[in-house]
Structure 1
Amino acid sequence: MGCMQKCEMSLGFESGSVTSDQISCSNQEQYTGWYSSWMPTKARLNNQGFGCAWLSKFNDQYQWIQIDLREVGVVSGILTQGRCDADEWITKYSVQYRTMETLNWIYYKDQTGNNRVFYGNSDRSSTVQNLLRPPIVARYIRLLPLGWHTRIAMRMDLLMCMNKCT
């Protein structure tokens, strides 16, 4: 009997165990009309059909998609895909996190102290996995697109470290 930490557990975007109220984005109040089909809640890995991705209303450096884990957890990786029905995806992004709503956002840094740039997708359907070494300990995670093909669009999931005990 013992416990071990497994660090490749999906948070559950694809399975639906991540609920819609845990996923938000920049300019969310403007998602009306046609854009209401592309809400951040559509950003689920392997989502298919119409509205199968989060589509940012604006294509600039000020957009983000945010996940509320509901409690502080250990995030060990990020999975991204492009939009399933169009050649639109993010090519690179940075990550911010915080443990409480009242704290400032912290950029995930590389070993030299610069904001780490993660490379994203090069097509609409492949899954790109970026592992976080060291993992992030936080409640809130934000992905900030830095580059994109055609427009900012993505499907995603997070990899978590969970204690598995026998």
Structure 2
Amino acid sequence: MNPKDNQSQTGCSCDCQQSRPTGIPPTTSISTTPPTLSPYLDCMPECPYHKPLGFESGSVRAEQITCSNLDQYVGWFSSWTPNKARLNSQGFGCAWLSKFQDTSQWLQVDLQEARVVSGILSQGRCDADEWTTKYSLQYRTHDNLNWIYYKDQNGNNRVFYGNTDRSSTVQNLLRPPIVARYLRLLPLGWHTRIAIRLELLLCMNKCI
């Protein structure tokens, strides 16, 4: 795996006063190799600015977020539905918890229209030591098309490395970004239980 694949420090966000990309604080990264360039110089040229899709703000509605085995979310699990997978969510029910702990599980978002997705921010469950340590991504532009795995530069299904604690935010940028309406996150590893809070980043070509 290329150590630059998991860099939070080189993410770009909107800095309209300076009219140039700037780093997104305060995310963490599991990369063992620190970036050698400044956040500005190392920004991904294909995507100068990133904008949150709206998990945290609530503009992504509950019905846009689904998961595997949704009909099994009854009783205690009804408080941990996919709608709870929102970055920085707090209190009881502060994450999506998978009822089953295996690699057949997934969390899906419908962006309502094809958008350019450029990254993912993730956290673990806020009130317990449960988090997703690694995952893969699938996407498609229409619901009658097959799912496509996001690939690495060697053509293998890319493995994204996620969280190592309950509260830190880990950012994974998509280089290159993808055009998708539907996106699935498929957990491949977890600590105690599959649990995640997240935000998607959209690629923007200017400050808005």
Q: Give the TM-score range, shorter chain.
A: over 0.9
Equivalence for 1:45 = 87
Shift of 1:72: 0.1
One-letter code aligned to 1:142: R
- How much has 1:161 moved relative to structure 2? 1.3
Match of 2:137 among 83, 95, 115: 95
- Work out which of the two has the higher radius of gyration on C-alpha atoms and give 1 or 2: 2
Matched, 1:140 2:182: yes
Matched, 1:113 2:155: yes
- Which of 103, 114, 127 matches 1:72? 114
CA distance in 1, matches of 2:206, 2:165: 35
State the alpha-carbon separation in 2 of the partners of residues 66 and 162 from structure 1. 22
Q: Distance in 1 between matches of 2:150 and 2:140?
A: 10
**Which structure's relative contact order is higher, taking Cα pairs within 8 Å and 6+ residues apart?**
1
Higher strand share: 1
Correspondence for 1:128: 170
Let me know the Cα RMSD of the aligned residues: 1.2
AA aligned opposite 2:158: R
What per-residue deviation string (whole Å, max 9, x for no partner) do you get for residues 16-66 of structure 1?
A: 010001100000011011100000000000000000000000000100000
Unaligned runs of 5+ in 1: none
Q: Which amino acid aligns with 1:116?
A: R
SS in 2 for 1:125: coil
Q: Is 1:149 aligned to residue 197 of structure 2?
A: no
Contact 2:139 2:181 in 1 (8 A): yes
Aligned length: 162
Give the secondary structure class of the aligned counterpart of 1:36. helix
Partners of 1:155 and 1:165 in 2: CA distance? 26
Q: Per the alignment, in what secondary structure is the counterpart of residue 35 of structure 1?
A: helix
Superposition deviation, residue 82 in structure 1: 0.1
Structure 2 counterparts to residues 55-70 of structure 1, below 5 A: 55-70=97-112
Percent identity reads: 76
Local SS of the residue matching 2:204: strand
Q: How many Å apart are 1:84 and its aligned residue?
A: 0.1
Give the Cα–Cα distance (whole angstroms) in 2 for the partners of residues 132 and 165 of structure 1: 19
Superposed CA deviations along residues 108-147 of structure 1, whole A, max 9, x for unmatched, are 0000000000000000000000000000101000000000
Instruction: Measure, in 1, the Cα distance between the counterparts of 2:63 and 2:205.
Output: 25
